[in-house]
Structure 1
Amino acid sequence: MTAELKKLIEEAWEERHLIEFKEYREAIETTILHLDEGTLRVAEKVAGRWHINDWIKKAVILYFPIRQMNEIHVGPFVFHDKMKLKTNYKEAGVRVVPHGLARYGAFLAKGVIMMPSYVNIGAYVDEGTMVDTWATVGSCAQIGKNVHLSGGVGIGGVLEPVQAAPVIIEDNCFLGSRAIVVEGVRVEEEAVLGANVVLTASTKIIDVTGEIPKEYKGVVPARSVVIPGSYTKKFPAGEYQVPCALIIGQRKESTDKKTSLNNALRDHNVAV
């Protein structure tokens, strides 16, 4: 089934007029249904490495032109959009507080809690994760198990270019208030981002825990404790401070993730 779906999606991607035909439209709609149910994912970890299923991203992009604008009535609220809203929260074991919205085609696993927040199409949010107030999870972003996205956290979405990796937040991570992660950055397991950390693909992530700083880009190593920082850069008009992120320590190994998190924040004075 998956091979046939992929074949039809790839054909429609190369020859866009094919989306006018029933067979191709049904392939697109079936792919989005599988995304909604969590049986397909835009990205998945295989043998310890993340693999991007770009044909599924293509299906998401192709889904937009085959949809029609419609009014959506939710009690006294009215929306006007092409995309349906996600449903069946009770059956899925998901808690959604009023004004929490997820689009159809996003997957929310059992035990997920959505405060007034937003999850876009193609995203995958795994078991036990909290999406706190005004946090957003962008298109195709991958959020692991038992992650805490604090108030106002911004997880970027990416559809094009189709080969671009989505933002990936691995299991047991904690992102402090107003942290922003975009442009395909990967935050590895159990990492802690303090309040207002901003990570883009070009952001310098500097480990300052040793005698010599070690620089990363695009990835936060597992169990790192990260805070906002800056470094000096020369410009024609003089020297100025440019934002970066600083790794100031490590979360301690513990079977109790909550205790480990509290210790990390207390030990390193990280605001959340």
Structure 2
Amino acid sequence: MSLPFTSPLDPRLDELWENRSELGPGDAAARGIVVAAVNALDRGEARAAFVDGGGEVVVDERAKRAILLAFRVLGLSRAQVGDFHYNDRIPLKSHLDGVRVVPGAIARWGSYLGRGVVLMPSFVNIGAYVGDGTMVDTWATVGSCAQVGQNVHLSGGVGVGGVLEPPSAVPVVIEDEAFVGSRSMVVEGARVRTGAKLGAGTILTRTTRVFDVETGEELPRGEVPAWSVCVSGTRVRSFPGGDFGMPCVLVLRRLTEGEPLDRLALNDLLREHGVSG
């Protein structure tokens, strides 16, 4: 049994949250508490969510509240990068030890980037967590509070959804060693388990139905199983107006646990089923 979770962040955030309608940029004491909390997220000392030892996703509501409070207690500030001008409450991330950030990439303060992370021109929002050795490829986006594990590859144009409100909402979780194919969308608290590979254009939401094509078994909605190869598909459903294809995700193959990604073999498997890699 997992022990009850206690947030590492300042408990005074809870009181600030209850009185949030009264807060503003002039509240220096409140601003100090909130900034310290978001700094902890920025350094990876706290997380908006994580997977516990029992495999359950635990949400730190206090972390999300700190982010939302930041929009109340921080004033607008102008910034400039070359010819680009900005006016925002949340600055860009400056703690980039061991991270490669290609020109055109944007990571906001309050996001965590592990060592060996590579950001191609992409976007990582506040509260997101990106683990060691992960590639965020061109035009991929990692939404607010999304949790991405180690040695993950988010291919070009991938959209990882974010969530801030309500604070109890479960964010997207993409676990270690996963591969998410180009232009895929993982949103609304969906979960990609360890070592799973998603073919290009896969759409996974919290309510997406997932089927194993070998057995016909319906798996838990909104998550793809560990060490599997998955693609988007359709499932015929009858309506008063006729039969229509409803979106789903198909598990094409189960992989050996720990099996490294062979891009050519993956592409061959997807082409075998008429899907691009």
What TM-score, normalized to structure 2? Answer: 0.90
Aligned residues: 266
* Aligned twin of 1:36: 42
RMSD of aligned residue pairs (Cα, Å): 1.8
* Aligned twin of 1:248: 252
What TM-score, normalized to structure 1? Answer: 0.92
Cα offset, 1:161, TM superposition: 1.1
CA distance in 2 between counterparts of 1:11 and 1:87 reads: 29
* Aligned twin of 2:3: none
Gaps (5+ residues) in structure 1? Answer: none
Contact 1:102 1:119 in 2 (8 A): yes
Give identity over the alignment, percent.
Answer: 44
CA distance in 2 between counterparts of 1:191 and 1:265 reads: 14
Secondary structure of the equivalent of 1:23? helix
Q: Please list the CA deviations of residues 35-73 of structure 1 after superposition, one character each: whole Å capped at 9, or x if unmatched.
A: 111111111232133211111101111111112222210
Is 1:52–2:54 an aligned residue pair?
no
One-letter amino acid of the counterpart of residue 53, structure 2: A
Distance 1:109 1:3, change over 3 A: closer
One-letter amino acid of the counterpart of residue 267, structure 1: L
Distance 1:158 1:45, change over 3 A: same
Contact 2:205 2:222 in 1 (8 A): yes
Contact 1:116 1:133 in 2 (8 A): yes
One-letter amino acid of the counterpart of residue 68, structure 1: G
One-letter amino acid of the counterpart of residue 143, structure 2: G
CA distance in 2 between counterparts of 1:4 and 1:219 reads: 28
Cα offset, 1:88, TM superposition: 3.6
Cα offset, 1:31, TM superposition: 0.4
Secondary structure of the equivalent of 2:79? strand
CA distance in 1 between counterparts of 2:193 and 2:258 reads: 16
CA distance in 2 between counterparts of 1:232 and 1:46 reads: 37
Contact 1:83 1:103 in 2 (8 A): yes
1:165 to 164, 170, 178: 170
Is 1:151–2:153 an aligned residue pair?
no
Secondary structure of the equivalent of 2:72? coil
2:261 to 248, 258, 261: 258
Q: Please list the CA deviations of residues 132-151 of structure 1 after superposition, one character each: whole Å capped at 9, or x if unmatched.
A: 00000000000000000000
Alignment of 1:141-220 (within 5 A): 141-210=146-215, 212-220=216-224
Gaps (5+ residues) in structure 2? Answer: 1-5
One-letter amino acid of the counterpart of residue 199, structure 1: L
* Aligned twin of 2:240: 236
Secondary structure of the equivalent of 1:229? strand
Contact 1:251 1:264 in 2 (8 A): no
CA distance in 2 between counterparts of 1:139 and 1:108 reads: 13
Between structures 1 and 2, the one with greater helix share: 1
2:86 to 62, 75, 79: 79
CA distance in 1 between counterparts of 2:261 and 2:230 reads: 17
CA distance in 1 between counterparts of 2:137 and 2:60 reads: 28
Is 1:267–2:266 an aligned residue pair?
no
Cα offset, 1:15, TM superposition: 1.5
Cα offset, 1:216, TM superposition: 2.4
Cα offset, 1:103, TM superposition: 0.3
Secondary structure of the equivalent of 1:245? strand
Contact 1:153 1:178 in 2 (8 A): yes
Is 1:9–2:9 an aligned residue pair?
no
CA distance in 1 between counterparts of 2:239 and 2:219 reads: 21
One-letter amino acid of the counterpart of residue 14, structure 2: E
Cα offset, 1:263, TM superposition: 3.1
